[in-house]
Amino acid sequence: MLRVLAVDDEKPLLEELLYLLRSDPRVRSAEGASDATEALRRVTRALESGPDGPDGIDVVFLDIHMAGLTGLDIARLLAGFARPPLIVFVTAHEGFAVQAFDLKAVDYVLKPVRPERLAEAVRRTCAQLGRAEEVPVAASAPAGPPAVPAQRPPAPEAAVAERGPEQIAVELGGVTRFVAIADIAYVEAQGDYARLHTDEGSHLVRIPLSTLEERWGARGFVRIHRRHLVALARIDELRLDSGSTTVRVGAAELQVSRRHSRELRDLLMRHATG
């Protein structure tokens, strides 16, 4: 069972997060800290106590935007310890996901926090610590509003799984919406994530570019670079300049690697004459 420290400088949000965490039977204890100083003091005491000590902490659920040090600053400081606790970021801002996972975060949960999404973060934490995921039979919920019944959440890929053959689910601000694959012009690799670019904007999903390449090859998506996957039908222009190849996809100009250049030209010719 997990020992958790939750950090957020907005008291109502911290209390709600603590309530949800304490409602999960896999969480042994959940304490709160309302600023970076308090959080670092609490973690330092836990590290001095040792992993099996009375003040031990397994994971820190950490807000990003706080007065003084940010959650990213705290995570960088904790990374300097020999055996730091795991980190789960809980934030209202989508744009820091890549930085968060560069810091080896277990998960990145968007506010407003949904109970089932938080349960998934707990599951991932248990998995990383090598602990059993089964929910104990006897577990008491905290006083207050009735807790959401504990259920085994879907696997991580389910959050970005395709909805039938034509759509992919994306999560933003705690809301899941479905984006038509036909609306995606190109995909950009961002670590273990991929950013889907459409005419309306972009969406970050937790799935590698290589996986999307395998899934969407039959839908006309081609790899042009280690960082980019492009819908063949959305390429407006192919440009050769001094041995360098680029394509224009809407307003974006993307580099084509040498290893993909000839194959792309052949595909475009067949597409044009087909």
Q: What is the pLDDT of residues 56-107, one digit of tens each?
A: 899 999 999 888 888 999 999 888 888 889 999 998 887 888 888 888 899 8
**What pLDDT, on the 0 to 100 scale, is given for residue 89?**
93
**C-alpha span between 199 and 184 (Å, rounded):** 8
On the question of pLDDT at 185 being above 60, the answer is yes
**What pLDDT, on the 0 to 100 scale, is given for residue 147?**
38
**What pLDDT, on the 0 to 100 scale, is given for residue 125?**
93
> Which secondary structure element, helix H or strand E, spans residue 163, and what is its range?
strand 162-163
Contacts 24+ apart (CB under 8 A), 252-259: 252/185, 252/186, 252/197, 254/186, 254/224, 254/225, 254/228, 254/230, 255/224, 255/225, 255/228, 256/224, 256/225, 257/224, 257/225, 257/226
pTM, full prediction? 0.55
Q: Is 183 helix (H, G, I), strand (E, B) or coil?
A: helix
Contacts of residue 54, defined as CB under 8 A and 6 or more positions apart, other chains included, come to none
Instruction: Find out whether 65 and 28 touch, Cβ atoms under 8 Å.
Output: no
What does the pLDDT look like over 195-249, one tens digit per residue?
Answer: 899 988 888 887 888 889 998 998 999 999 999 999 999 999 988 887 789 999 9
**C-alpha span between 130 and 133 (Å, rounded):** 9
pLDDT tier, 174 (very low <50, low <70, confident <90, very high otherwise):
low
pLDDT, mean over the chain: 82
**C-alpha span between 212 and 270 (Å, rounded):** 23
Contacts 24+ apart (CB under 8 A), 49-56: 51/83, 56/3
